[in-house]
Every structure is written in structure tokens, then in C-alpha cells.
Amino acid sequence: MSHRYGYVLEIDLSKYFDTLNHELLPDLLRKQIEDKRVIDLIKKYLKIGGYGRPAT
């Protein structure tokens, strides 16, 4: 007998990124991402708070 399961998971990660150390994160990402433009874009994203609103 074969059992099939289906799952749907909804999560909100918007607050998760607020808990990350925004000073340390770019340094960690540089180890995996060679393109400085990508790192700069991530830094800008973190600085504005991710969704176009100022970071609090």
C-alpha cells in the first residue's frame, strides 16, 4: 500500500533578517560570492530594511 503525503508550509521570514548581524553578514557572504556588486546590493538591501522602508 502506497501512502502519499502533501504538505504546504507558509512562513514569514521578514523578521528573521532583522536578527542577523548586518556587519558580519557581508563578510561571511564574501567567502561564497565573488562578485562584489552582489555583496554591495545585499548591503544596500539590509541598510534600507529590505522592503524600501528605513531600517529601525
- Summarised one tens digit per residue, pLDDT across range 33-42 is 999 999 999 8
Nearest to 46 by CA among 13, 8, 12, 20: 20
pTM for this one?
A: 0.54
Instruction: Give Cα separations from 26 to 11, 14, 52, 54, 55 (angstroms).
Output: 24, 18, 19, 19, 17
pLDDT digits (tens, 9 = 90+) for 22-56: 888 888 999 999 999 999 998 888 787 655 555 55
Tally the domains of the chain.
1
Domain that holds residue 47: 1-56
